[in-house]
């Protein structure tokens, strides 16, 4: 739902006052988008899942380490799922996006970033 002209004017006034009061904070907010924060959290969750898997493979050393690894994997998977749902609900464009659309967009963005770094 688009903002009315009055609401848009109020929002612009708030942005200008924020930039005057705390320019460093305003710059930080404009530099980091919600999507970049969520994708960073997803990366952390995937690393946690991998760490849990490694712990699970250490079941020969200790059963307790393996159980803790399973717990870490479960927590990480739920954390990643929650972040993907949040991205999906925040990036609605006329309807709910599917998980495959979100993962496809993340893959395209990652490949685009890598190509940009090389050239």
Is the entire prediction scored with pTM above 0.85? no
Residue range(s) defining the domain that contains residue 56: 34-118
Same domain, 64 and 94: yes
96 and 110 within one domain? yes
Q: How many domains would you assign to the chain? A: 2
My answer on whether 17 and 75 are in the same domain is no
Burial code of 68-101, b = ≥16 C-beta within 10 A, e = fewer? ebeebbeebeebbeebbeebeeeeeeeeebeeee
The pLDDT tens digits along the chain (119 residues) read 566 788 888 878 888 887 888 888 777 766 666 677 788 899 999 999 999 999 999 988 999 999 999 999 999 999 999 988 887 776 655 444 555 666 667 667 766 655 444 54
């Amino acid at each position: 739902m688009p903002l009315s002209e009055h609401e848009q004017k109020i929002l612009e006034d708030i942005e200008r006052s924020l930039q005057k009061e705390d320019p460093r904070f305003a710059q930080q907010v404009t530099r980091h988008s919600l999507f970049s924060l969520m994708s960073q959290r997803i990366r952390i969750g995937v690393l946690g899942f991998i760490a849990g898997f490694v712990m699970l493979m250490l079941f020969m050393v200790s059963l307790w380490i393996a159980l803790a690894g399973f717990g870490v994997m479960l927590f990480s998977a739920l954390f990643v799922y929650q972040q993907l749902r949040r991205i999906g609900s925040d990036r609605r464009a006329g309807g709910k996006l599917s998980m495959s659309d979100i993962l496809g967009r993340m893959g395209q963005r990652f490949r685009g970033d890598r190509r940009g770094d090389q050239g």
